[in-house]
């Protein structure tokens, strides 16, 4: 548009000149030829700018023609890099053949010359500079004297890409100041040259982006694809497919829907339904498996977006990222966790068996011994001597010993009960926690209430023991850490599962402690629930108490991760 406007102005000017002067006027002829030469200059530069991708060659082309049209002795082009520094390029024009030999060498190597400083100043200020008489500067006069030239003036004009200066055109000449039409032509020439610079920079940025893209694809092991239609047909598949899957991209593309056969059979229906249900602007992420050429099963994460196209159906653009290593790692981790969970369950079973054994020995053997000792003490008291004073003293001591033995018997019973909750077998789970709750309340002074909701179902041994141990561990934590004054216990049963909920009004548990691997008690409770196919949830607020809820199915399911 700028060139078109300039040409229209020039034709208008030619028309005015034709009306003002007679055809045989010599001045008119020269003026007309000059205007035509400027028009030719702009046309030639515009054509060259469209055809070339080398800014330096275009600089040389433009400087040659400008100097010939303006009859200027010397022209030079500069190129600036992205940091605003002058590149060591050599774009010259000289009217006289022998002129450049001496002067050019001085200008190339003398970085303090006035000639170069003008260019730098024009680049820094971003506007043209006109120096009428260079010979008044002693330093520049010395440089000009080397080449024995008659040039006395300089005109410098920057080349811009948007707001940034990318180059400079400099001209040295002995003629008078350039007229307005020539200056306007120079501005348009610089605009055309700037367009080439901009195009080259864009191409360079594109190459850099493509390089980054290739590195990215190589690192993430990704395949880019495009497709459309129902049924979906793949129109493009990037070449990375060959390296990852072992077959060429053309094996996926086309109208024969061959790409479906590459999907893992169990995943085909899910993938097709998900992709074909996308509407314009939708995006989705799918994880599925693909069969490689060598028979391997590879996992991919497919990120897809539907974009608007001219057709009836939206075009799908996607990237498939190889996550096989991640999936294998997850599978190994899952297997390891299952093995650890199975080991933990065996250890818990072994511990319960050991508790039963110890409880039996403590209750049966130690309990019987203490009972026998208590009987012996009673008999001894009955057979005291007739000495009343001595008898009273011994009776007091025996009574004290009897109290100690009675306390020991109580401790043995309590320990045996904690080791093996016989009350669960005798009374059931609900009465068992009520009995333990009363004992907890007596020992700690913390009020505890038990509420039953729903139907009362009988639990098998594993469920009863697991929930009872969770109940015991929770009350231990309440007594040690919560500072609570009240505990509420709820047991809710149904045909499918049972839910044990324990709430207190204590200080609460921090989120860090809930997820901490050092909270072995909480981890143990969670593992007990998970092993039975259930779950354990902990809700707590600072100063608002803590609620622990264990939900276990009545029919044992496989524990989940």
Q: Which residue has the higher pLDDT, 108 or 36?
A: 36
Other beta carbons within 10 Å of 440: 20
Q: Hey, what are 284's tokens?
A: 């989705």
Lowest mean pLDDT: which of 70-74, 264-268, 457-461?
Answer: 457-461
Q: What is the pLDDT of residue 448?
A: 92
Strand order in the sheet with 283-291: 233-237, 222-228, 315-322, 297-307, 283-291
Q: What is the pLDDT of residue 114?
A: 46
Q: What is the pLDDT of residue 124?
A: 86
Mean pLDDT of the 238-242 span: 81
Most confident of the following: 245-259, 476-490, 503-517? 476-490
Q: What is the pLDDT of residue 454?
A: 72
Q: What is the pLDDT of residue 486?
A: 92
| Percentage of residues in the chain having pLDDT higher than 70 | 71
CATH superfamily of the domain spanning 2-204: GAF domain (3.30.450.40)
Q: Hey, what are 440's tokens?
A: 């907890």
Q: Which residue has the higher pLDDT, 354 or 186?
A: 186
Mean pLDDT of the 70-82 span: 86
CA angle 427, 430, 433 (to 5 degrees): 95
Lowest mean pLDDT: which of 92-106, 176-190, 460-474?
Answer: 92-106
- CB burial of 455-468 (b: ≥16 within 10 Å; e: otherwise) equals eeeebeebbbbbbb
pLDDT band at 389 (very low <50, low <70, confident <90, very high): low
pLDDT band at 93 (very low <50, low <70, confident <90, very high): confident
Mean pLDDT of the 385-401 span: 69
Q: What is the pLDDT of residue 159?
A: 92
- pLDDT above 70 (res 239): yes
Mean pLDDT of the 419-432 span: 72
CA 394 to chain centroid, in Å, comes to: 83
Other beta carbons within 10 Å of 489: 22
pLDDT band at 338 (very low <50, low <70, confident <90, very high): confident
pLDDT band at 557 (very low <50, low <70, confident <90, very high): low
The fold of the 221-322 domain, in CATH, is: Beta-Lactamase (3.30.450)
The fold of the 423-553 domain, in CATH, is: Heat Shock Protein 90 (3.30.565)
**This prediction's pTM:** 0.42
- pLDDT above 90 (res 488): yes
Mean pLDDT of the 112-116 span: 48
Mean pLDDT of the 301-306 span: 90
- pLDDT above 60 (res 8): no
**In sequence order, what are the residues at sequence separation of 6 or more whose Cβ sits closer than 8 angstroms to the Cβ of residue 136?**
none
- pLDDT above 80 (res 34): no
The overall average pLDDT reported for the chain is 77
Mean pLDDT of the 469-481 span: 87
Mean pLDDT of the 38-53 span: 83
Mean pLDDT of the 367-391 span: 68
* Span 395-424, pLDDT tens digits: 777 777 777 777 777 776 666 666 666 667
Mean pLDDT of the 484-504 span: 90
Cα torsion at 541, 543, 544, 548 (round to 10°)? 60
Lowest mean pLDDT: which of 74-88, 134-148, 545-559?
Answer: 134-148
- pLDDT above 70 (res 214): no
**In sequence order, what are the residues at sequence separation of 6 or more whose Cβ sits closer than 8 angstroms to the Cβ of residue 254?**
233, 234
- DSSP letters, 49-94, are HHH---HHHHHHHHHHHHHHHHT-SEEEEEEB-TTSPBP---EEEE
- pLDDT above 70 (res 499): yes
* Span 524-549, pLDDT tens digits: 788 888 888 899 998 887 778 899 99
Mean pLDDT of the 476-497 span: 88
Q: Which residue has the higher pLDDT, 20 or 444?
A: 444
Mean pLDDT of the 250-278 span: 81
For residues 90 and 108, the answer to whether their CB atoms sit within 8 Å is: yes
Q: What is the pLDDT of residue 416?
A: 65
Mean pLDDT of the 489-500 span: 88
With tokens 């009240």, the residue in question is 486
- The values of phi and psi at residue 171, to 5°, are -135, 135
Q: What is the pLDDT of residue 220?
A: 65
- pLDDT above 50 (res 1): no
Distance CA 237, CA 235 (A): 7
Other beta carbons within 10 Å of 359: 19
Mean pLDDT of the 334-338 span: 77
- pLDDT above 70 (res 99): no
| Percentage of residues in the chain having pLDDT higher than 90 | 8
| Whole-Å CA distances, 325 to 201, 219, 239, 299, 300 | 39, 13, 21, 8, 10
For residue 85, give the nearest of 109, 52, 116, 115 by alpha carbon: 116
Distance CA 100, CA 417 (A): 111
Q: Indicate the pairing of strand 546-553 with strand 497-504.
A: antiparallel
- pLDDT above 60 (res 22): no
* Span 216-230, pLDDT tens digits: 766 767 888 888 878
Lowest mean pLDDT: which of 68-77, 131-140, 276-285?
Answer: 131-140
């Amino acid at each position: 548009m700028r060139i078109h406007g300039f040409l229209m102005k020039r034709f208008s000017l030619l028309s005015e000149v034709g009306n003002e002067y007679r055809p045989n006027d010599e001045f008119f002829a020269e003026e007309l030829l000059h205007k035509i030469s400027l028009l030719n200059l702009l046309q030639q530069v515009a054509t060259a700018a469209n055809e070339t991708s080398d800014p330096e060659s275009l600089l040389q082309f433009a400087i040659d023609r400008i100097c010939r049209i303006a009859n200027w002795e010397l022209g030079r082009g500069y190129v600036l890099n992205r940091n605003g520094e002058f590149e060591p390029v050599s774009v010259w024009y000289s009217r006289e053949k022998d002129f450049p030999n001496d002067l050019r060498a001085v200008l190339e190597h003398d970085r303090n010359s006035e000639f170069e400083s003008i260019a730098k100043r024009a680049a820094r200020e971003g506007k043209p500079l006109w120096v009428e008489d260079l010979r008044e500067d002693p330093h520049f006069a010395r440089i000009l004297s080397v080449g024995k030239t008659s040039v006395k003036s300089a005109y410098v004009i920057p080349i811009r890409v948007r707001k940034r200066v990318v180059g400079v055109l400099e001209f040295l000449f002995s003629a008078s100041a350039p007229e307005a039409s020539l200056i306007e032509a120079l501005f348009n020439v610089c605009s055309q040259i700037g367009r080439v610079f901009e195009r080259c920079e864009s191409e360079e940025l594109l190459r850099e982006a493509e390089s980054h893209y290739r590195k990215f694809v190589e690192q993430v092991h990704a395949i880019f694809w495009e497709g459309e239609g129902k049924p979906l047909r793949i129109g493009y598949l990037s070449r990375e497919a060959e390296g990852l899957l072992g077959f060429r991209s053309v094996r996926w593309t086309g109208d024969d829907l061959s790409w479906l056969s590459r999907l893992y059979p169990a995943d085909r229906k899910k993938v097709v339904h998900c992709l074909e249900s996308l509407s314009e602007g939708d995006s989705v992420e799918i994880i599925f498996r693909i069969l490689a050429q060598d028979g391997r099963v590879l996992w991919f994460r497919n990120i897809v977006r539907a974009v608007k196209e001219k057709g009836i159906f939206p075009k799908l653009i996607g990237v498939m990222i190889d996550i096989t290593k991640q999936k294998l790692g997850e599978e190994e981790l899952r297997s390891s966790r299952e093995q650890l969970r199975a080991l933990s369950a065996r250890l818990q079973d072994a511990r319960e068996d050991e508790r039963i054994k110890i409880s039996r020995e403590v209750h049966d053997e130690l309990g019987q011994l203490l009972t026998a000792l208590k009987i012996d003490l009673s008999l001894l008291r009955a057979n005291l001597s007739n000495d009343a004073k001595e008898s009273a003293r011994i009776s007091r001591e025996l009574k004290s010993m009897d109290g100690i033995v009675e306390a020991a018997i109580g401790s043995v019973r309590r320990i045996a009960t904690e080791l093996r909750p016989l009350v669960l077998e005798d009374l059931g789970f609900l009465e068992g926690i009520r009995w333990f709750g009363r004992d907890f309340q007596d020992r700690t002074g913390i009020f505890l209430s038990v509420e039953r909701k729903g139907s009362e179902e009988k639990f098998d041994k594993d469920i009863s023991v697991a929930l009872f141990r969770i109940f015991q561990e929770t009350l231990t934590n309440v007594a040690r850490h919560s500072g609570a004054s009240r505990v509420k216990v709820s047991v809710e049963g149904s045909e499918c599962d049972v839910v044990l909920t324990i709430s207190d009004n204590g200080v609460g548990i921090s989120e860090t402690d809930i997820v901490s691997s050092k909270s072995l008690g909480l981890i143990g409770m969670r593992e007990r629930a998970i092993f039975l196919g259930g779950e354990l949830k902990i809700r707590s607020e600072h100063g608002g108490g803590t609620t622990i809820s264990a939900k276990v199915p009545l029919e044992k399911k496989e524990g989940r991760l």
